[in-house]
A = this chain, B = another copy of it.
Amino acid sequence: MKQFRAAEIPIMKRLQIGEVAQKAGVSVDTVRYYERRQLIDEPPRRASGYRQYAPRVIGRIRFIKQAQKLGFTLGDIEELLRLRDAPNTDCSDMLDRAEAKLVEIEEKIAALSDMKSTLEELVDQCRRSQQGSDSECPILDAMEKGDAS
């Protein structure tokens, strides 16, 4: 049972969407979007219809944005949030998903690196052909002939 000194008594303050959005670093529209996508719960409303959020939703939205930074899509994040919410989550489920994402990212890096290599080669050829009197373009040629693959 946690003990508080008088100055530390938590106040159950409710927040409007603008404040939530600002503190979480997203737009108001994004907050509503996340609610529509059920990434966050719909909060209770005032008689006016204004949403009244518990402050902990800020942490949840920050979780979402952090996960996005690691390459997880919102679809992925739905599942991560389920794990976060489950009472007996251990690390192995999160580990599985992190490892899977790591593999995806490595594959993307590999694909991009292939493109890079090929472009570098073409750029090189192009620079060399400009130095000679050759008026043909190796980049055009490579794309015509499929040699770029």
Q: Footprint of B on A, CB under 8 Å?
A: 59, 62-63, 66-67, 69-71, 80, 83-84, 89-92, 94-95, 98-99, 101-102, 105-106, 108-109, 112-113, 115-116, 118-120, 122-123, 126-127, 129-130, 135-140, 142-144, 146, 148-149
A41–B135 alpha-carbon span in the complex (Å)? 27
Report yes or no: A66 in contact with B109, Cβ–Cβ below 8 A. Answer: no
Q: Nearest chain B CB to A41's CB is how many angstroms away?
A: 18
- Chain B residues with Cβ below 8 Å from A98 are 119, 122-123, 126, 139
Report yes or no: A142 in contact with B66, Cβ–Cβ below 8 A. Answer: yes
- Chain B residues with Cβ below 8 Å from A69 are 115, 148-149
